[in-house]
Amino acid sequence: MPVIQRFSQSRVRINANDHPPPHFHVLMNDGREAWVTIAELKIVHGKVSAREIDDVLVWAKTNRDMLAAKFEELQR
């Protein structure tokens, strides 16, 4: 499962052969995890608040096309 980007408190990962909708995982350094949809940048699973991953969401907004392409690539 490739790590796409690292942040001070978390890292972004996209899993191969994952389920829809297209999403990425935010893994917090303390072990918590959130699933975030690529299209809406909405947290759909996990116990992480949007405030805690604001830096990830800002980055994801500017890198949405790359995230969508990477998700698609890893589903083949």
Domain residue ranges in the chain: 3-74
Backbone angles phi, psi at 33, to 5 degrees: -140, 150
Instruction: Convert the pLDDT of each residue in 15-46 to its tens digit.
Output: 999 999 999 999 999 999 999 999 999 999 99
Cα–Cα distances (Å) from 7 to 13, 19, 20, 21, 57, in that order, read 12, 25, 25, 24, 11
Residues 28 and 11: beta-carbon distance below 8 Å: no
- Evaluate if pTM is beyond 0.85: yes
Nearest alpha-carbon partner for 41 in 29, 31, 55, 30: 55
